[in-house]
Copies of this chain bind each other. A is one copy, B any other.
Amino acid sequence: METTTVNQKFDVIAEGTVTTPRGFSAGAVHVAVRTDWDKLDVGILASEVPCIAAATYTQNRIPGASLVISKQHLTSGRVQAVIANSGCANAATGQQGMDDAIALCQQTAGKLGIDPHLVVVASTGVIGTFLPMDRVSPGIDTIALSPDGGLDFARSIMTTDTRPKHIAVRAGGWSIGGVVKGVGMIHPNMATMLCFITTDAAVSQPFLHSALREAVDSSFNMIDVDSDTSPDDIALVMANGLSDTGEIETEHPDAETFTAGLKYVCTHLAKSMVEDAEGASKLIEAQVEGAASLADARLAAREIIRSVGVKTAIYGHDANWGRILSAIGNSGAQVDEYKVKLSFLGAGGPEVVVFADGSPLPYDLGAAKACLEPREVKIRVQMGLGDGSATAWGSDLTEEFVRLNSVYTT
């Protein structure tokens, strides 16, 4: 596999996935969860041995049945396998949904010869329909797990995604691999996303939890497609310890590298979601610097990429920066308009400053438009108040998004 050295700490394996770390295998099958789909739609990811696990969840107060069961199982902090499906969210499905989720865990555990409480179940798709268990159950029996199955597993969780999303990083004796799905109902505080991350490092549970929290806060919680969230969002990391590097915790020499690697994986996957966002033509990156705090920087960056006015302007290659300033004013972040400096960043080209000292600056409209031409559009905001900085990524809003989302179930 081709690898790229990002820094001194770890190499990036672009083709890497959840089965890159040793001891993980995966597989998937097409069972027609949705009868109008012919894609892989049920997948299993498993470790040879039980893993230390950590997870973050949707903030939605009506969580799906699969998520409710998985949260129960994850209270132990240990997981050995994941059973996932696309096409049906198993949400708003009441007791039958709970029964189905439990049955999926039991069947998967039986197939693998492990405890059902070590199985996480994840479902994504339409809300308010029941899982077609008469097709899913026989399908599970036919899934063949292999160390090469990571990509098929990534495909099995896709819904309106146009491509599988995966990555791995390697540092010394261990690696971290991840897959994700989700291109709509995407908003800070998790999204219509399933994210599964594996590592063969040995990691203490508290350290794994805080590293995941930190990585999610600067990646999945900093993206926006359409400001909606779903009942089923989960980001799960499983550490099976097969690399024999000693348990990583705060004082371990690899602690910083592991945190950076996990953050790299999550950020790559988060950006890949926005790049593949429903109907999107642009990836909008908002860089906020000099905010009064990290929290304020995140508020401002997220509101910029959430704003419908900004999304539509960028789609139209329109340097309508007043909407960006308005979004900052709207974000809740502390702001002094006479200290704000606002600019567009060209692709390796010049920085076009459009607003400073409380007033519009005369700028080259052609140069500003040139910054809006590339697929990736970068906005830079200097708040001039402190040292809080954050970056957020969003898609633009297009007619194609509207078309896709007005005909999804019917």
Mark A residues whose CB is within 8 Å of B: 59-63, 89, 91-97, 126-130, 184-185, 226-231, 306-309, 312-313, 315-323, 325-330, 332-335, 337-338, 340, 354-355, 357-360, 397-399, 401-403, 405-410
Contacts and interface: CB of A to CB of B under 8 A. Distances in A.
A316 B410 contact: yes
A89 B322 CA distance: 10
A355 B410 contact: no
Contacts of A323: 127, 228
28 contacts: A61-B333, A62-B329, A91-B325, A91-B326, A92-B337, A92-B355, A92-B360, A93-B358, A97-B359, A126-B322, A128-B321, A128-B354, A128-B360, A184-B309, A185-B309, A185-B326, A226-B308, A226-B309, A308-B405, A312-B402, A312-B405, A313-B405, A313-B408, A316-B410, A318-B407, A320-B409, A401-B402, A402-B402
Given A62-B337, A92-B337, A227-B308, A398 B402 contact: yes
Contacts of A62: 325-326, 328-329, 335, 337, 340
Given A329-B62, A337-B62, A358-B95, A402 B315 contact: yes
Count this chain's copies in the assembly: 2
Contacts of A306: 227
The interface residues of chain A, by DSSP majority, are classed as loop
Contacts of A360: 92-93, 128-130
A339 to B, nearest CB: 11
B406 A318 contact: yes
A327 B355 CA distance: 36
B228 A308 contact: yes
Query: Which 3 pairs across A and B sit closest by C-beta, in order of nearness?
Result: A127-B322, A316-B406, A62-B329
Nearest to A308: B226
